[in-house]
Amino acid sequence: MTMKLRAAQILLPAASLLAFLTIWQIVGSRIDPLLFAPPTRVWEAAQALWASGELVEAGRVTLGTLTVGYVLAILVGLPVGIAMGSWRRIGDLVSPYFYGIFSTPRVVVVPLVIVWLGVGFPARVFLVFLWSMIAVASSTADGVRNARPDLIEVSRSFGTSMTQRVRHVILPGSIPFVLSGLKVGAERAVVGVVIAEMFLQLTGLGGLLQERSQRFDTAGMLVAVAVIAIIGTILITLLDLLEQQFSTWKKA
């Protein structure tokens, strides 16, 4: 049964991808090349960009910014979320600001970031970090607030410190919320890095997308879009696998 389930998990996405590419090829072949491009032309454009080194360099820049911004978001967001969830006054104080920033379109903040940090690497990292950190912190805070009160009381009765309670009781019980926040934060990070590269400094995959759009190179644009989508898919898939590991651990 497990073998059949695993086979289905592989075959169904593969069949779906094949059907998608087939439809894309048929539709794309019948549309003006300036407006759309079929997979065959996108593949040819990808090979040309790879051979020239543009795609490799753009991917390297984007991954570098994304990694630094997302890791910083996790390192800051987890302790901030724990503090917000553990002490109600901190949560009440910080949450309205987080909600306001989280609901503000990132493009609106770009002019301020340019004034504060310029258009270089720190500014791009900041845009990735800001919204991603808020997602991680908010979800972690929700997890801490939903931790089992009976386990917390038992730990207190044994005279544990706040640090010990957070490490051994509160945080393990908050894992589903934390992982949910990490996934939302990852999505926000990918969007943030593309916006930063398109509106701050034409670099990375976002810069490649913008530059190809100015040339009306639809195939080149779709190459950048496809690579960005692949990066996001890999990141979310890795987090899903991590979530499955924790689910197995909890059942055990």
The mean predicted confidence, pLDDT, of the chain is 85
Render 106-159 in DSSP notation, one character per residue.
HHHHHHHHHHHH-SSHHHHHHHHHHHHHHHHHHHHHHHHHTS-HHHHHHHHHTT
Tens of pLDDT along 73-119?
999 999 999 888 888 888 888 888 888 888 888 788 888 888 889 88
Residue with tokens 């950190």: 133
What's residue 21's pLDDT?
84
Render 84-118 in DSSP notation, one character per residue.
HHH-HHHHHHHHHHHHHHHTS-HHHHHHHHHHHH-
Superfamily the domain 52-251 falls into: MetI-like (1.10.3720.10)
Residue with tokens 């939903």: 146
Residue type, 106: R
Tens of pLDDT along 199-245?
988 899 999 999 999 888 999 999 999 999 999 999 998 988 887 77
Domains of the chain, by residue range, sit at 52-251
| pTM metric for this prediction | 0.86
Paired tokens of 94: 């910080």
